[in-house]
């Protein structure tokens, strides 16, 4: 009994791990093709202002609807996209699609929110990034103030002066800039001072054990007060429980994102969230 289910389990395991067994070059070719034929989609995960309970943003998260392999998650293809350079055209599509969708929600009378887009190191080094972003905003009619780029610490320390210059250019346009997975990389406090950021995103690894781990509580508290001192918004990712939420609220963390508040979901579902409708006008005198 146990043996036969183990066998089946192994068969299934083989079936769902084809990315490993299929030729890398084949997958890269399929990815290149899939970008052109529209096999990639975005899910959106809500971000809530902790004090008011309002939806203030959404993180766009890419998925690959592969014709044979089914839905693939970023962990299964982003590394390969970076390695092959395909993250550049893929990232360009993600940016444009996220801007288009956010503008569409606004046009439909939804509550205006900021859309957060992940930018990988390889994209950030691409000389055309800023003109791609500007073109996406212009073509979709999305205002720059509703776009946030999520950057990683490693990306920022790699080529600091160039990074600051590019970030300044984004800030001049009005685009917001967050450090993703904050606390896991090597950026110094001095670096934080020099980078024109608008937000710190506390990494999930510090949020996960808040209920049991006193040092994680200290780290989370320190990041939140650091953000407050520097005038930055602080968002906690990976919030899964009311206990984590309560702790973050007690530290006056600005914003929260995680399964406790909503899983990543398709655009239509997101647009129908109660928090996305504006309050009806009060027409009484």
DSSP the chain: -HHHHHHHHHHHHHHH-HHHHS-HHHHHHHHHHHHHHT-EEEEEEEEEETTT--EEEEEEEEEEEETTTEEE-HHHHHHHHHHHSTHHHHHHHHHHHHHHHHHHHHHTTBPP-EEEEE--HHHHT-TTHHHHHHHHHHHHT--GGGEEEEEEHHHHHHTHHHHHHHHHHHHHHT-EEEEEEETSS---HHHHHHS--SEEEE-HHHHTTTTT-HHHHHHHHHHHHHHHHTT-EEEE----SHHHHHHHHHTT-SEE-STTT---B-HHHHHTSGGGBPPPP----
- 47/118 with CB nearer Mg ion: 118
- 150/216 with CB nearer ligand C2E: 150
Q: Which of residues 70-129 bind Mg ion (CB under 5 A)?
A: 118
Binds 102: which of Mg ion, ligand C2E, none (CB < 5-8 Å by kind):
none
Kindly state whether residue 240 participates in binding ligand C2E, applying the rule CB under 6 A.
yes
Calculate helix-pair angle for 74-84, 87-107, nearest 10 degrees: 130
Q: Which of 180, 187, 235, 255 binds Mg ion (CB under 5 A)?
A: 180
Kindly state whether residue 118 participates in binding ligand C2E, applying the rule CB under 6 A.
yes
Convert residues 21-40 into a mask of x (bound to ligand C2E by CB under 6 A) and - (unbound): --------------------
Kindly state whether residue 76 participates in binding ligand C2E, applying the rule CB under 6 A.
no
- Interface region with Mg ion, contact rule CB under 5 A, candidates 74-82, 143-151, 207-215, 222-230: 143-151
Binds 46: which of Mg ion, ligand C2E, none (CB < 5-8 Å by kind):
none
Kindly state whether residue 47 participates in binding ligand C2E, applying the rule CB under 6 A.
no
Q: Which of 47, 120, 187, 245 binds ligand C2E (CB under 6 A)?
A: 120
- 224/257 with CB nearer ligand C2E: 257
* Shortest CB 60 distance to Mg ion, Å: 9
Q: Which of 1, 13, 23, 75 binds ligand C2E (CB under 6 A)?
A: 75
Q: Which of 196, 259, 269, 272 binds ligand C2E (CB under 6 A)?
A: 259
């Amino acid at each position: 009994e146990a043996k036969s289910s183990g066998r089946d389990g192994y068969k299934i395991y083989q079936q769902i791990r084809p990315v490993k067994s299929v030729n890398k070059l084949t997958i890269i070719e399929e990815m290149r093709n899939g970008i052109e034929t529209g096999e990639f989609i975005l899910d959106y995960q809500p971000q809530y202002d902790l004090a008011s309970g309002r939806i203030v943003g959404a993180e766009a998260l890419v998925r690959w609807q592969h014709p044979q392999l089914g839905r693939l998650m970023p962990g299964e293809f982003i590394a390969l996209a970076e390695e092959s350079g395909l993250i550049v055209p893929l990232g360009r599509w993600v940016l444009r699609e996220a801007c288009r969708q956010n503008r569409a929600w606004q046009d439909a009378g939804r509550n205006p929110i900021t859309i957060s887009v992940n930018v990988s190191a390889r994209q950030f080094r691409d000389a055309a990034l800023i003109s791609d972003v500007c073109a996406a905003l212009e073509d979709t009619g999305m205002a720059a103030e509703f776009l946030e780029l999520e950057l990683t610490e490693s990306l920022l320390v790699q080529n600091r002066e160039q990074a600051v210059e590019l970030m300044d250019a984004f800030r001049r346009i009005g685009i917001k800039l967050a450090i993703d997975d904050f606390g896991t990389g090597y950026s110094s406090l001095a670096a934080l001072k020099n980078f024109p950021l608008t937000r710190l995103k506390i990494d999930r690894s510090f949020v996960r054990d808040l209920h049991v781990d006193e040092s994680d509580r200290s780290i989370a508290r320190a990041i939140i007060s650091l953000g407050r001192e520097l005038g930055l918004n602080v968002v906690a990712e990976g919030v899964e429980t009311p206990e984590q939420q309560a702790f973050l609220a007690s530290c006056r963390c600005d914003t929260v994102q995680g399964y406790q508040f909503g899983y990543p979901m398709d655009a239509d579902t997101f647009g129908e969230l109660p928090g996305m409708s504006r309050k009806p006008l009060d027409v009484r005198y």
